[in-house]
Amino acid sequence: MITAAQVAELREKTGLGMMECKNALVEADGDETKAIEILKKKGLAKVAKRADRETTAGVIESYIHANGKVGVMVEVLAETDFVAKNDEFKAFAHDVALQIAAMKPKFIEPSEIPADELAKIKEDYKSEMAISGKPADIVYKIVEGKLGKYYSEVCLLNQPFVKDDSKTIGDLLTDLVAKIGEKIVVARFSRFEIGE
């Protein structure tokens, strides 16, 4: 038997609707952790369904660091103006601008890294590992791990969120899309720093 308190607690943690939370708890036999996983999977399915939709509304968020030496502008888009005016959407755009100011990403996602640059990085990692004498399959795994670390340094969506490093910016984006029910994208950004 699922109680109203359990549903309320799950709603508080996820920000999702009452019926979605109740159904997830029923499916998970009252286990909150399993219910959260179920909700995440359903959210990812929603994200995938919306992948080909157009994003024609949004905001340009700016952030100037307190000392006035770092400034950021980021364009975050949604499908409708209704969502673009949503407080959670605006808060996400602000958090993205803050992230860019603090963590200096070069790209939004790994697919934006120029192929020649990525090939050189992979080759450098392979050369570094070649002298280790480790088997090829182990070297491959180590190189992939190093690439993952590189992506988390230079790609915005792969970076751990500065306010909660248990989530990436990509996780925050996926959670927001699942909650709001519209496609949302970080379209572009510019970061300025005095002396750079």
Question: Tens digits of per-residue pLDDT, 152-170?
Answer: 999 999 999 999 999 999 9
Residues 6+ apart with CB under 8 A from 152: 158, 159, 160, 168
DSSP state of 155: B
Per-residue confidence (pLDDT) for residue 103, from 0 to 100: 96
Residue closest to 21 by CA, chosen among 10, 37, 5? 10
Mean pLDDT over each residue of the chain, to the nearest integer: 87
- Residues 35-86 have pLDDT tens digits of 878 877 776 666 555 556 677 789 999 999 878 899 999 999 998 888 889 9
What mean pLDDT do residues 89-94 have?
A: 96
